[in-house]
Amino acid sequence: MATGRGPGFVQPYLENLGLDFAISYNGQYIFTRDQVLYHNQMAVSTVYRLIRYANDHRREISLGTASGLVGSRIINMGTSRFGQVVSTLVPKRWAKAVERSFKHFIRRFKPQNLNGLLAIMRQPIYQVVFVATEGETANIQNAFPYIKVTRSSPYSADLISKGQSKVKGIERVGEMFGFTLDEVMAFGDSDNDIEMLSGVGTGVAMGNAIESVKSVATYTTDTNNNDGISKALAHYGLIHVEVGERFDSQDDNFNKVKDFHHQMDGETCETPRLYGVEEADHRSDFKVEEIVEFLYATSKGNPGAFEQSVANLHEAVDKAVTKIKSKEHPETPLVGQVDALTDLLYLTYGSFVLMGVDPKPFFDIVHESNMGKIFPDGQAHFDPTTHKILKPDDWEEKFAPEPAIKRELDRQIQKSLNRKKRNQASH
């Protein structure tokens, strides 16, 4: 693994995937599961000047220590996540407007505590990360011509020592393990991958990569969310994968949802994989919205009752966070994710059991409603701004689920009453 991230982020992947080594901080810090193979500390004077520059320009920064990035509240909250999500959702013609909004957002933050940053730099620093838009890269580079500025996000810049890079790190590892750059296949999608992809024997751009990355790549594969790496390995004959072969579940409801995703955006997965943080957040957002809708329906139009339920929900989230933090982190993150989602599915079935409702007919109603969002041209249409799925003009009339849900509920209630009458008559 070669990444701009720090050792703390990389270590779980090293352990869980059984990787031999990792190149972190864009080549500045290389290690195995047992030892550090190479590290290049930035000059203390350089780090000090960068801290002063950030303070003078009201820019948040994080300092890359041996344990991970420390400093910026924004970066700690996930600036790179923010940048990647926005960059995929917002049309290119909106880029300038988003950049202005981002700058305004940054200005609202109070400057970082200078003394706190100076205390952190007593440790060896291997990389400095600035919260900065792409348009600010040149200004930073001009102010510090003796460092290297690279990017993996539209909203942050990685600053490292001159002469360092991912490909240089790979070359160092090759010298230790006995292989050359010509024997290496590398995958990438961001600005800080360009030098790596152009420097190895086979550079593969992910389908979601920026155009400048694709232009230097030997080959462009599918996206990182659609088995791009395994498809590229199969393309070069390194593994055997039946690309495009679909597996079907014994759970017919699962297969229907899979049909929906395939029809809407083509995004299905045929091999078990771990959700990234951005995706996990996105999927959780959908679930939280439905939970809030459940509470809203329960309130029966009483604003006070609804507000109290939402307050209780916030309290439950805080309680859950405290409980989860007290546990050991799952040894295998994929197992932890699957366990949590399975429990969620089980609890949802339990809710239906305690309601006395058979969920199968309602699932079919909702599925038909969702598939009704296909337009006459056979394609799904998306809002250019929000990227939400649009509904055809006749969708409400033909596919809105609420009337069908009410009819099915009436049927199940009547069936239950008839069953009770028969039981009473038999006694």
pLDDT, tens digit, 9 for 90 and up, residues 194-222: 999 999 999 999 999 999 999 999 999 98
Residue 388 has pLDDT above 80, yes or no: no
Question: Do 264 and 226 sit in the same domain of this protein?
Answer: no
In the chain, the percentage of residues whose pLDDT exceeds 70 is: 89
Residue 93 reports pLDDT greater than 60: no
Gap between the Cα atoms of 66 and 126, Å rounded: 8
Does residue 270 share a domain with residue 230?
no
Range of the structural domain that residue 257 is part of = 252-275+356-426
Assess whether 263 and 365 both reside in one domain. Answer: yes
Structural domain tally of the chain?
3
Contact in structure between 57 and 130 (CB atoms under 8 Å):
no
The 3-state secondary structure of 261-280, one letter per residue: HHHHCCCCCCCCCCCCHHHH
Q: Are residues 147 and 210 in the same domain?
A: no
Residue 332, domain member (yes or no): no
Tell me: do 229 and 264 sit in the same domain.
Answer: no
User: Which runs of consecutive H residues, i.e. helices, occur in 200-326?
Assistant: 211-216, 228-235, 252-264, 277-298, 303-325
Q: Which of 107, 134, 163 is the last residue of a domain?
A: 163
Q: Is residue 230 part of a domain?
A: yes
In angstroms and rounded to an integer, the radius of gyration of the C-alpha atoms of the chain is: 26
Q: What is the pLDDT of residues 215-242, one digit of tens each?
A: 999 999 989 888 889 888 877 777 765 5
Last residue of a domain, one of 130, 163, 196: 163
Burial 248-263 (b: 16+ CB within 10 A, else e): eeeeeeeebbbebeee
Token pair of 335, please? Answer: 């197992």
Q: CA-to-CA distance for 342 and 115, rounded, in angstroms?
A: 46
Least confident of 78-87, 112-121, 331-340: 78-87
**151 plus 189 within the same structural domain:** no
Q: What are phi and psi of 60, to 5 degrees?
A: -80, 140
Q: At residue 103, does pLDDT exceed 70?
A: no
- Say whether both 227 and 92 belong to one domain: no
Q: Does a structural domain hold residue 222?
A: yes
Same domain, 53 and 86: yes
Residue 129 domain flag? yes
The predicted pLDDT at position 373 comes to 87
* Residues linked to residue 130 through DSSP beta bridges, in sequence order: 61, 157
Residue type, 200: V
DSSP secondary structure letter of residue 58: T
Query: Measured in whole angstroms, how far is the alpha carbon of residue 384 from the centre of its chain?
Result: 21
For residue 345, CA distances in Å to 2, 37, 159, 339, 341 come to 36, 44, 44, 10, 6
Give the residue from 117, 112, 142, 139 showing the smallest Cα distance to 64: 117
pTM: 0.54
Measure the CA–CA gap between 135 and 201, rounded to whole angstroms.
Answer: 32
Q: Which of 169, 130, 148 is nearest to 10 (CA)?
A: 169
- Kind and range of the H or E run holding 333: helix 333-355
